[in-house]
Chain A
């Protein structure tokens, strides 16, 4: 098991129906890592995450979770096998309380739910105070916390985050990146899709740059930040 990757995607072609969006993705996440996917709009960043979850038509290629092939798995089985997925939008149940949201995250589990909720309240102390409030009444940043805690209710083997900081104020963006680091320190490997390329690469151990459905550049987070081409394309640098 020690040499298997938490997530390993090999030569993946996938899309909606017959429309191919991913044209040969090769990507992996080690057990202790935070990995970021950055790239321009329409490059297929979110599509990578969705195909891992079984939401898309996989044309060819291989996806494995801890060495187990998960191509063609149904979304509920994917969740049950330990994938914590946080969608970009509509990622909480607004009319359910925070506690109920967490319970829904644990739908596929039958025991240990109250204990897990307590662990989540330790990880996200702000949520504990408001646990009986409906999630729709929270601020954007707190909603994102609920969404992450809800996703972590399964026994996470990997966490997939789809643009977690989109639409948040800079203060909350930094807070989210700090939280991602904290979750990772607790032993959860993380695959992160981000628009906010600079902060994402600063947070991540490694990064992939996706252009037009395939990965063009990969490397250590800091190396990508210093890479002139990457900088020119995504980081707003002028030289």
Chain B
């Protein structure tokens, strides 16, 4: 049973699906928070992921040039996260803040412009071509391989996937703690629930906005670095290609529901990968070329049958 179906299913479909789901989940958290707290669909969110990955790459290259040791991507991501968040808090202050009480469509269009600005900036600085993020072939984790082989279920998880899944779990726990146990996190949920009431309750909405960029930016950079680790390369359109599935994940989970976004991300990631598994006969269920259509289909179906998402998010 394991030999004929399990090995292929788990190693080539399920685990890559989970990894992709983790990346979508992290990206969707920022989208759902910006949507519910700042009230606009942030088209530049994919670019936050992308520029975070480029900052991380730069930190890795710099440490290699200066000290002869290439940093692990997760270590290099620490300064990159701070830099990206600082950048986006400045962007909010000077670019989005004047739009704070403007109609939503203007802010959405502005974010579209911001997306193009960031991408062009990255192309100008780092060049338009692909860059190698981590060279070499990803080897499976020996510990997991040997252990599972001893129980006749050989699972091959490359170390990079191991880090991505573990990193996502850590961020989820931290996020859950932040949103339910800290004053600022509860404030974020309150503003997401009702910005008008938050204002007349004395909640400092500008602090909450900064916290939203911080949390959304942190998760987005993590998603960008994880994506670069998975692909082992960088390109300037990597964030944009994630945008549709991330929006689909946010809508599936319900707008304003960070944990819904996580579930939504995992569902979309798994659905995309499992849609090409040969469920019937020998050929894959749908042609791999249509894989990206899966997220789109789920989003459209969800908007038609249950626009508030699985976890009853906001409607606009």
The answer to whether residues A96 and B200 also contact, given A104-B186, A107-B187 and a CB cut-off of 8 A, is: no
Find A105's partner among B183, B196, B201 (CB 8 Å cutoff).
Answer: B201
> Which residues of B (187-233) have their CB < 8 Å from a CB of A?
187, 189-190, 192-194, 196-204
Of all chain B residues, the one with the shortest Cβ separation from A110 is B183
How long is the Cα–Cα vector from A40 to B183 in the complex, in angstroms? 41
Main SS of the interface on chain B? helix
Of all chain B residues, the one with the shortest Cβ separation from A80 is B202
A87: B residues at CB distance < 8 A: 196-197, 200
A105: B residues at CB distance < 8 A: 201
The answer to whether residues A79 and B189 also contact, given A93-B194, A103-B183 and a CB cut-off of 8 A, is: no
Query: Shortest distance in angstroms between A109's beta carbon and chain B's nearest beta carbon?
Result: 9
How long is the Cα–Cα vector from A94 to B198 in the complex, in angstroms? 12
Is A60 engaged at the interface, CB distance under 8 Å to the other chain?
no
Query: Shortest distance in angstroms between A121's beta carbon and chain B's nearest beta carbon?
Result: 18
Of all chain A residues, the one with the shortest Cβ separation from B193 is A93
B186: A residues at CB distance < 8 A: 96, 100, 103-104
Is A53 engaged at the interface, CB distance under 8 Å to the other chain?
yes
**Is there an interface contact between B193 and A79, defined as CB atoms closer than 8 Å?**
no
Of all chain A residues, the one with the shortest Cβ separation from B186 is A100
Is A32 engaged at the interface, CB distance under 8 Å to the other chain?
no
Q: Interface size (A, Cβ < 8 Å)? A: 24
Is A11 engaged at the interface, CB distance under 8 Å to the other chain?
no
How long is the Cα–Cα vector from A92 to B190 in the complex, in angstroms? 9
How long is the Cα–Cα vector from A107 to B194 in the complex, in angstroms? 15
**Is there an interface contact between B189 and A96, defined as CB atoms closer than 8 Å?**
yes
**Is there an interface contact between B201 and A107, defined as CB atoms closer than 8 Å?**
yes
How long is the Cα–Cα vector from A87 to B189 in the complex, in angstroms? 19
The answer to whether residues A85 and B193 also contact, given A96-B186, A103-B183 and a CB cut-off of 8 A, is: no
Query: Shortest distance in angstroms between A74's beta carbon and chain B's nearest beta carbon?
Result: 9
Of all chain B residues, the one with the shortest Cβ separation from A78 is B202
**Is there an interface contact between B202 and A92, defined as CB atoms closer than 8 Å?**
no
> Which residues of B (62-96) have their CB < 8 Å from a CB of A?
none
**Is there an interface contact between B198 and A104, defined as CB atoms closer than 8 Å?**
yes
* Contact pattern, A 154-190, Cβ under 8 Å of B = 1, otherwise 0: 1000000000000000000000000000000000000
Query: Shortest distance in angstroms between A113's beta carbon and chain B's nearest beta carbon?
Result: 9
Query: Shortest distance in angstroms between A130's beta carbon and chain B's nearest beta carbon?
Result: 18
Query: Shortest distance in angstroms between B229's beta carbon and chain A's nearest beta carbon?
Result: 34
How long is the Cα–Cα vector from A105 to B204 in the complex, in angstroms? 12
**Is there an interface contact between B203 and A104, defined as CB atoms closer than 8 Å?**
yes
Query: Shortest distance in angstroms between A83's beta carbon and chain B's nearest beta carbon?
Result: 9
**Is there an interface contact between A93 and B202, defined as CB atoms closer than 8 Å?**
no
> Which residues of A (100-118) have their CB < 8 Å from a CB of B?
100, 103-105, 107-108
> Which residues of A (222-236) have their CB < 8 Å from a CB of B?
none
* Contact pattern, B 151-186, Cβ under 8 Å of A = 1, otherwise 0: 000000000000000000000000000000001001
**Is there an interface contact between B199 and A104, defined as CB atoms closer than 8 Å?**
no
Q: Counting chain A CB atoms within 10 Å of each CB, which of B187, B192, B200, B203 scores highest?
A: B200
How long is the Cα–Cα vector from A55 to B186 in the complex, in angstroms? 24
**Is there an interface contact between B199 and A90, defined as CB atoms closer than 8 Å?**
no
> Which residues of B (92-135) have their CB < 8 Å from a CB of A?
none
The answer to whether residues A90 and B201 also contact, given A96-B186, A100-B186, A103-B186 and a CB cut-off of 8 A, is: no
The answer to whether residues A94 and B203 also contact, given A103-B183, A107-B187 and a CB cut-off of 8 A, is: no
**Is there an interface contact between A76 and B189, defined as CB atoms closer than 8 Å?**
no
**Is there an interface contact between A90 and B197, defined as CB atoms closer than 8 Å?**
yes
Query: Could you give 10 example pairs across A and B, Cβ below 8 Å?
Result: A91-B197, A95-B189, A100-B189, A100-B190, A103-B183, A104-B187, A104-B201, A104-B203, A107-B204, A108-B202
Interface residues of B (CB under 8 A from A): 183, 186-187, 189-190, 192-194, 196-204
Besides the contacts A90-B197, A93-B193, A94-B193, what 4 more A-B pairs have beta carbons closer than 8 Å? A95-B189, A104-B187, A150-B201, A154-B202
Interface residues of A (CB under 8 A from B): 53, 55, 75-76, 78-80, 85, 87, 90-96, 100, 103-105, 107-108, 150, 154
